[in-house]
Structure 1
Amino acid sequence: MTDVITSDTIASVSLNDADRDPDGFARELGESFVDYGFAIVRDHGIPQELIDRAEAKAKEYFALPDAVKQQYVIPGGGGARGHTPFGIETAKGAKAHDLKEFWHVGRELPAGHPFRNVMADNVWPSEVPGFKETFLELYDTFDRTGVKVLRAIARFLKVDEDYFTDTVRDGNSVMRMLHYPPQTEATGEHIRAGAHEDINTITLLLGAEEAGLELNTKDGRWIPVSPKKGELVINIGDMLQRLTNGRLRSTSHRVVNPTPDRASKARYSMPFFLHFRPDFMIEALPGTVPEGEEPKWPPISSHDYLQERLREIKLK
Structure 2
Amino acid sequence: MISAIPTLDIRRFTHPSSAEDRQAFVDELGAAYREWGFAGIRNHGIPQALIDGSYDVFQRFFALPEDTKKQYHVAGGGGARGYTAFGVETAKGAKYSDLKEFWHIGREIPRDSKYADDMPANLWPAEVEGFREQGYALYRALDDLGAQVLRALALHIDLPEDYFADKTDSGNSILRPIHYPPITADDIPNVRAGAHEDINLITLLVGASAAGLEVLSKKGEWVAFTSDADTIVVNIGDMLQRLTNHVYPSTTHRVVNPPGEAARKPRYSTPFFLHPNPDFLIDVLPSCVTAGNPKRYPQPITAQGYLEERLREIKLK
Letter of the 1:14 partner, please give it.
Answer: D
Q: Is the 8 A contact 2:209 2:268 kept in 1?
A: no
**Count of residue pairs brought into register by the alignment:** 310
Residues in 2 aligned to 1:135 and 1:102: alpha-carbon distance in whole angstroms: 13
Task: Give SS of 2:29's match.
Answer: helix
2:5 to 6, 10, 20: 10
* Alignment CA distance shift 1:10-1:292 (3 Å): closer
| 1:113-262 alignment, distance < 5 Å | 113-208=113-208, 210-262=210-262
Percent sequence identity is 51
Q: Is the 8 A contact 2:43 2:230 kept in 1?
A: no
* Counterpart check, 1:273 vs 2:295: no
* Counterpart check, 1:314 vs 2:311: no
Residues in 2 aligned to 1:39 and 1:262: alpha-carbon distance in whole angstroms: 26
Residues in 2 aligned to 1:291 and 1:191: alpha-carbon distance in whole angstroms: 41
Question: Per-residue deviation at 1:206?
Answer: 0.8
Q: TM-score, normalised by structure 1?
A: 0.96
Question: Per-residue deviation at 1:265?
Answer: 0.9
Question: Per-residue deviation at 1:259?
Answer: 1.4
Residues in 1 aligned to 2:9 and 2:309: alpha-carbon distance in whole angstroms: 35
C-alpha deviations, 1:219-269, integer Å up to 9, x for none? 110010110013100000000000000000100000000111311210001
Residues in 2 aligned to 1:58 and 1:169: alpha-carbon distance in whole angstroms: 26
Q: Is the 8 A contact 2:205 2:233 kept in 1?
A: yes
Task: Give SS of 2:116's match.
Answer: helix
Letter of the 1:315 partner, please give it.
Answer: L
Residues in 2 aligned to 1:62 and 1:151: alpha-carbon distance in whole angstroms: 35
Question: Per-residue deviation at 1:201?
Answer: 0.2
Question: Per-residue deviation at 1:291?
Answer: 3.8
Residues in 1 aligned to 2:69 and 2:290: alpha-carbon distance in whole angstroms: 50
* Alignment CA distance shift 1:127-1:152 (3 Å): same
Letter of the 1:286 partner, please give it.
Answer: P
C-alpha deviations, 1:148-168, integer Å up to 9, x for none? 110000111111000011111
The Cα RMSD (Å) is 1.3
Letter of the 1:143 partner, please give it.
Answer: D
Specify the alignment match of 1:107 in structure 2: 107
Task: Give SS of 2:39's match.
Answer: strand
Residues in 2 aligned to 1:175 and 1:94: alpha-carbon distance in whole angstroms: 24
Q: TM-score, normalised by structure 2?
A: 0.95
Residues in 2 aligned to 1:303 and 1:116: alpha-carbon distance in whole angstroms: 12
Q: Is the 8 A contact 1:33 1:249 kept in 2?
A: yes
* Alignment CA distance shift 1:132-1:187 (3 Å): farther
Q: Is the 8 A contact 1:209 1:228 kept in 2?
A: no
Residues in 1 aligned to 2:165 and 2:247: alpha-carbon distance in whole angstroms: 20
Moved over 3 A (4+): 291-294
Residues in 1 aligned to 2:96 and 2:248: alpha-carbon distance in whole angstroms: 29
Letter of the 1:66 partner, please give it.
Answer: E
Residues in 1 aligned to 2:10 and 2:61: alpha-carbon distance in whole angstroms: 31
Specify the alignment match of 2:35 in structure 1: 35
Question: Per-residue deviation at 1:287?
Answer: 1.7
Task: Give SS of 2:287's match.
Answer: coil
Question: Per-residue deviation at 1:292?
Answer: 8.8
Residues in 2 aligned to 1:209 and 1:83: alpha-carbon distance in whole angstroms: 21
Task: Give SS of 1:263's match.
Answer: helix
Task: Give SS of 1:78's match.
Answer: coil
Letter of the 1:11 partner, please give it.
Answer: P
Task: Give SS of 2:304's match.
Answer: helix
Residues in 2 aligned to 1:262 and 1:293: alpha-carbon distance in whole angstroms: 44
Residues in 2 aligned to 1:183 and 1:265: alpha-carbon distance in whole angstroms: 7
Question: Per-residue deviation at 1:293?
Answer: 6.8
Letter of the 1:104 partner, please give it.
Answer: H
